[in-house]
Amino acid sequence: MKIKKIIVALLVGTLTATTVVSASAVALTDKNPDGSTEVKARIEGSQPGDVSYIITIPEKVDFGTLSQPTTDSDSNKYVDFDVEATKLDIEARSAVSVFVKDSSSTDGQFYLTQQNKENPFTIPYDVYTALITNDNEIGENTPVNVSDPSESGYHITTFLSNAEGETQDITLSLNQKKLYGQNLDDIAGDYSGTMMFHTALTTLGG
């Protein structure tokens, strides 16, 4: 009798702990990019008349630990991800355009902002619609945020109706040169920014 009560109590306690861990696993912001627990998120759109699409974007992208360069020269750090047309149930003459902008920026640029600081330090980063892994490739590409954004943001790709399953490479580039000459004690800490994605169903001409 007692043993059964203990078993039941243990089970309830284990379940409670497991539920808490499950919730916290989704909410974790792992500083170490290895073994991170990001979950791919989705933007769903629907139009009357059985038209629907799903564009998949990552929930989180991590630059990892930034380094302060010893010289006042470019020191780019790159991180890439995919934007995927997971589902495209749209008419043949339609397409899904994807836009992106910074959630809080006032000048249209993308920034990482120091957390939990009264006067936070900000670090800009650029967005490229290509896979870039070194400084040689960066010269061959232009970031999307060099032009003026539309109300929806910067256009990064358009998926045609037959492009289901295709992906668009996106690379974020952060120049650590911004950290040169700064007091590490002042700029140390966690940084975050938010990229807002917007999708729009468009009808092609012709």
Site for another protein in 55-114 (CB under 8 A): 57-71, 73-81, 103, 110, 112
Q: Quick one: 81 or 164, whose CB is closer to another protein?
A: 81
Kindly determine how many residues on this chain lie close enough to bind another protein according to the rule CB under 8 A. 79
According to CB under 8 A, which one of 52, 120, 197, 201 is a site residue for another protein?
197
Distance, in Å, from the CA atom of 166 to the CA atom of 88, rounded to the nearest integer, reads 10
**Burial classification of residue 92, based on how many CB atoms lie within 10 Å of its CB (0-12 exposed, 13-18 middle, 19 or more buried):** exposed
Site for another protein in 6-25 (CB under 8 A): 7-8, 11-12, 14-16, 18-19, 21-23, 25
Q: Which residue has the tokens 């989704």?
A: 26
Q: How far is the CB of 206 from another protein (least distance, A)?
A: 29
Closest separation in Å from C-beta 119 to another protein: 15
Q: Should residue 41 be labelled a site residue for another protein when binding is judged by CB under 8 A?
A: yes
101-109: long-range contacts, CB 8 A cutoff, minimum separation 24 = 101/149, 101/152, 101/153, 101/154, 101/195, 101/196, 101/198, 102/193, 102/194, 102/195, 102/196, 103/193, 103/194, 103/195, 103/196, 104/193, 104/194, 108/145, 108/148, 108/149, 109/145
Q: 20 by DSSP, 3-state: which? A: helix
Angle at 40 between CA 192 and CA 105, to 5 degrees: 30
Q: Smallest distance, Å, CB 199 to another protein? A: 7
Give the chain's length. 206
Q: Letter for the amino acid at 96?
A: V
Q: Is 136 in the site for another protein (CB under 8 A)?
A: no
Residue placing its CB nearer to another protein in the complex, 57 or 144: 57
Q: Does 167 bind another protein (CB under 8 A)?
A: no
Measured from the CB atom, the residue of 151 and 206 that comes closer to another protein is: 151
- Shortest reach from residue 140's CB to another protein, in Å: 17
Q: How far is the CB of 118 from another protein (least distance, A)?
A: 17
